[in-house]
Amino acid sequence: QASRVLNATLRNKIMSADEAAALIPSGVNVGMSGFTGSGYPKLVPAALARHINKHNQAGEKFRIGVWTGASTAPELDGALASVDGVEMRLPYQSDPTCRRRINAGEMEYIDIHLSHVAQFVWFGFLGKLDIAVVEVAGIREDGSLIPCSSIGNNKTWLDQADKIILEVNSWQNPELEGMHDIYYGTQLPPNRMPIPIVRPGDRIGEQYFRCDPDKVIAVVETHSPDRNTPFTPPDNDSRRIAGHVIEFLEHEVKKGRLPANLLPLQSGVGNIANAVMAGLNDSKFEHLTAYTEVLQDGMLDLIKSGKLDFASATAFSLSPDALANLNANMRQYRDKILLRPQEISNHPEVIRRLGIISMNGMIEADIYGNVNSTHIMGSAIMNGIGGSGDFARNAYLSMFVTPSQAKGGAISCIVPMVSHVDHTEHDVQVLVTEQGLADLRGLSPKQRAKVVIENCAHPDFRPALREYYERALHSGNGRQTPHILDEALSWHSRYQKTGSMR
Ligand code: 0RQ
């Protein structure tokens, strides 16, 4: 296989992953590529983990800060967390070993809105970015870089890091070239200008990353696939949730509040989101568009069936089957997909301007519409807020979806008060469970409570929720958002004591 490193200066810097990893000292902050299981470096993090392990075994404390686009894969987050090599991790992660370390108090984790990460680095809010480790699909003769299956924060990492390690992955489809739009117009306040995107497909940037060859300290050649887990086929609950969402969208079109082809869609990660996409594929909607962060299987299917005209994202997040299909048919997709930096895919200005229909998963919601997307029983992290906050606050329509119960019915996902708040009542317009949909627009907290309990809670939990609400209303406390503070979190503490909220 011919080398994809066409630049002569950078060819001289090709070395093994172990040699490259040895150039990363303890105590540095490393910006790694990777977003929801795609485009993460495949070899250097694992080599670094071996290197760290050796030092830690020798009694030295070797740890680094790991900054990424979003979640990565076992080869990165898993490898580094398993050797206790991460001092600070940011932003979104979903790795089981990372999660365990974070919840055991062995690793610091900052859960930041995905659109904030790049600008926080430019502002200097997060400290110095020392090294970038970025996977690319190739290096061109002029030294510019061909991006791969995710963009994430790579532009910022390449611009801001003192030193750069490149992984050139020949597994990445060469036809990805040209499917990227890297915006170099972002200035810092007070000199910022409007971002000129008025349609999801608008190109405003360049196809390649700029890269200062003098900063590159290593180039590692790899041939290794993006690894993602298959989706479980939509179950009954996800299909019912999808049904409610689609019925609601049809109703909004009838009412004249949405155009016939809707507005650009954003959909979060997970099986329910995928089921909604599958539902749209069976619906009568046509000429749909997407302005989203991740492109999952369901969206690819919508493109294939001709229902989705264009999708803008920052990363693919595909099952092995869908990935194989994409790679085999890239020509069919390449004019309909654009990958952008996550500060642009998730930019509040663009989300507000385009009028996005946003759909994200949640852990629990309370009767007033506050949403917890991230924490189990108030204290333990699941994944992170990801881009859900970027979209929820700025969307045209902001929806959150979940089954009404978790853990075999021991937990109600509709509770008196959420145990952690990611999205406040002000950012949440629609809640959906398999039971039904609560349209909270234009409702006061007291009006919301009734709709949330009656439409979304599981029937087994409705009487207790009604009873809590009625007593709170007449408790003598304020009647704007009635609560009984001693009881508001009692459902959670009951679960912790007895293993059930019932
Ligand atoms: O845990 O597997 O141990 O049983 O939470 O729940 O039902 O499998 O749902 O995979 O769709 O994830 C909110 C986590 C939902 C996800 C969340 C337990 C449940 C299970 C997962 P087990 P499910 P999903 C785009 C936008 C935030 C980021 C975001 C998420 C596990 O959607 O991370 O939206 N969102 N980003 O048993 C206790 C409850 C529970 C509960 C579920 N009420 N109490 N446990 N679980 N509800 C992507 C990016 O931005 C990158």
133 bridge partner residues: 32, 165
Quote the crossing angle between the two packed helices 445-456 and 462-473, to the nearest 10°: 170
pLDDT of amino acid 230: 78
User: Does the CB atom of residue 268 touch ligand 1 within 6 A?
Assistant: yes
- How far does the centroid of ligand 1 lie from the alpha carbon of residue 361, in Å? 7
**Tokens representing residue 125 in the block:** 């809010």
DSSP 297: H
Please list the alpha-helical segments (H only) found in 78-184.
79-82, 96-103, 114-123, 154-160
Look up the pTM and report it.
Answer: 0.97
pLDDT of amino acid 163: 98
pLDDT of amino acid 233: 81
Q: Per residue in 77-135, pLDDT tens?
A: 999 999 999 999 999 999 999 999 999 999 999 999 999 999 999 999 999 999 999 99
pLDDT of amino acid 102: 98
Catalytic residue positions?
293
pLDDT of amino acid 476: 84
Regarding an ipTM greater than 0.90, the answer is yes
Question: Percent of the chain, pLDDT > 70?
Answer: 100
pLDDT of amino acid 297: 92
pLDDT of amino acid 147: 98
User: Does the CB atom of residue 292 touch ligand 1 within 6 A?
Assistant: no
- How far does the centroid of ligand 1 lie from the alpha carbon of residue 181, in Å? 31
**Tokens representing residue 173 in the block:** 């489809």
**Tokens representing residue 245 in the block:** 């969402």
Average pLDDT over the chain, rounded to an integer? 97
Minimum-distance ligand 1 atom for the alpha carbon of 402? 7
**Tokens representing residue 421 in the block:** 């708040």
pLDDT of amino acid 270: 81
Q: Burial level of 254, CB count in 10 A (0-12/13-18/19+)?
A: exposed
Is residue 407 part of an annotated ligand binding site?
A: yes
Q: Where are the beta strands (DSSP E) in 292-415?
A: 294-295, 308-313, 315-316, 337-339, 357-361, 364-366, 371-372, 375-376, 380-381, 397-401, 405-406, 411-412, 414-415
Does residue 45 have a pLDDT over 80? yes
Distance (Å, rounded) from C-alpha 97 to C-alpha 100?
5
Averaged pLDDT for residues 398-414: 98
Q: How confident is the model at residue 227 (pLDDT cuts 50, 70, 90)?
A: confident
pLDDT of amino acid 277: 92
User: Does the CB atom of residue 298 touch ligand 1 within 6 A?
Assistant: no
Distance (Å, rounded) from C-alpha 403 to C-alpha 412?
9
Is residue 363 part of an annotated ligand binding site?
A: yes
- How far does the centroid of ligand 1 lie from the alpha carbon of residue 24, in Å? 34
Q: Comparing C-alpha atoms, which of 127, 142, 169 is closest to residue 31?
A: 127
Distance (Å, rounded) from C-alpha 24 to C-alpha 10?
18
Question: Percent of the chain, pLDDT > 90?
Answer: 96
Averaged pLDDT for residues 285-294: 98
Between CA 163 and CA 85, with CA 71 as vertex, the angle to 5 degrees is 60
- Quick one: the chain helix, strand, coil %, rounded to 5? 35, 20, 45
Q: Per residue in 362-389, pLDDT tens?
A: 999 999 999 999 999 999 999 999 999 9
Lowest mean pLDDT across 271-280, 409-418, 463-472, 486-495: 271-280
User: Does the CB atom of residue 150 touch ligand 1 within 6 A?
Assistant: no
Q: Burial level of 273, CB count in 10 A (0-12/13-18/19+)?
A: buried
pLDDT of amino acid 229: 79
Averaged pLDDT for residues 401-429: 98
Which residue type sits at 428?
V
Averaged pLDDT for residues 319-327: 93
